[in-house]
Structure 1
Amino acid sequence: MYVPAFDPFHTIFRMLYILKRFDGNETIEVDRLRIYDFYLLFPYLANKISLKSDETQLKDSRRKFIPNKFTPYNYISNSRRIFERLRPYQMIALSHLASYGLIDPEMLLQQKVTVTDADKMQQVMSQLDEMPPEDANVLSWLMLSFRNTPLNGVDGLKYRTKLLESKYDGC
């Protein structure tokens, strides 16, 4: 049975779609990309991301655009375990993008991603099909909700998703 989560080439395409949503000169944390990628694979789990009580607009848009259903084929019982199993595939995908000259390899060593050649990235993206609408909705919701949310800290993305340890963050 084919599982896109553990296919490095599928991971490259997912990372490209995510990077396309960021500005060309923006620096993104690797862990943020990995979290977005996880929710592209398992969109129904985005309903478990904790939101503040005053974030009713985000809750409403999540209810509207994120499916709350799963099939027996994509059900996972331990999100953190699967998230960690995805790490090598995600890092291979980012390494390939760096080797193609699309992202900065020096920044990748610092666990950050910056697009080095926006024109080349645009050329690559023009050869790809559009994202399926369901995936585009998930990614749009994640970007709207967490683009400016810090990765670390009490209300950071790591804390809200519970995919990465946040207890010992310095902020």
Structure 2
Amino acid sequence: MVQLSFEPALDPYHTMFRALRLMPIIETIGRLERDHVRILDFFLVFPFKLLDLRLKPEHRRFRALGKRYAAEKPYAEQPESGQLIKRMAPISDAAYQSLAAKGFIDGSDYDAGWVKPTESWMPDILAEKIVAANTDQQDLMDLLATLAREYDLGGENGLKHRSGLMEHRYDAV
């Protein structure tokens, strides 16, 4: 028997929508490293995996979000988180390159390893859907904004290390 299923993490169009949802967070910082954005996107699509994230003591209040979003955990078994984010990488790259081609992010910054939003026009219906989705998950967006602003990407206590999603031991810090 063949079973068809949809996995938002592996869909380039869903990835572009999630990327646009993250743009208001990135705009407040200016630009963010590509891997930092990939980790934020991982937790946006899999918020129940926040239970595996080691937070700073002042941010432990956010741990409850992992439990709150546990109901969104898919029924099917999923690979280990590190493998899952690796599988997401080529789809993420294709989505962000498409956003760069359409002018939503700076293409030369993306090629250099950064995500930097541009002042590009967006259709009203898309902007409304982004605002509605972000408002619906405001608590999650607040956590992602905190991870973007207050956590470095690399190093011993960086986001790579705290999440366990990417190798951190060889980072230049």
**TM above 0.5:** yes
Distance 1:107 1:50, change over 3 A: same
Post-superposition CA distance 1:104-158 (Å, at most 9, x none): 11001111011122x5258675253511656432222121244232111111111
Greater share of helix residues, 1 or 2? 2
User: Which 4+ runs in 1 deviate beyond 6 A?
Assistant: none
Distance 1:68 1:97, change over 3 A: closer
Q: Distance in 2 between matches of 1:74 and 1:135?
A: 23
- Give 1:60's aligned residue: 61
Letter of the 1:84 partner, please give it.
K
Q: Distance in 2 between matches of 1:122 and 1:167?
A: 42
- Give 1:158's aligned residue: 160
* Percent of residue pairs identical: 28
Q: TM-score, structure 2 length as denominator?
A: 0.84
- Give 2:170's aligned residue: 168
Distance 1:104 1:145, change over 3 A: closer
Q: Structure 2 unaligned segments of length 5 or more: list them.
A: none
Distance 1:100 1:72, change over 3 A: closer
Q: What is the CA-CA distance between 1:6 and the residue it aligns to?
A: 1.1
Aligned residue among 28, 40, 43 for 1:39: 43
The count of residues paired between Structure 1 and Structure 2 equals: 166
Q: Distance in 2 between matches of 1:102 and 1:24?
A: 15
- Give 1:15's aligned residue: 19
Letter of the 1:39 partner, please give it.
F
SS in 2 for 1:69: helix
Aligned residue among 84, 89, 92 for 2:91: 89
Q: Structure 1 unaligned segments of length 5 or more: list them.
A: none
- Give 1:98's aligned residue: 100
Post-superposition CA distance 1:50-75 (Å, at most 9, x none): 124xx1x4112331x33262545265
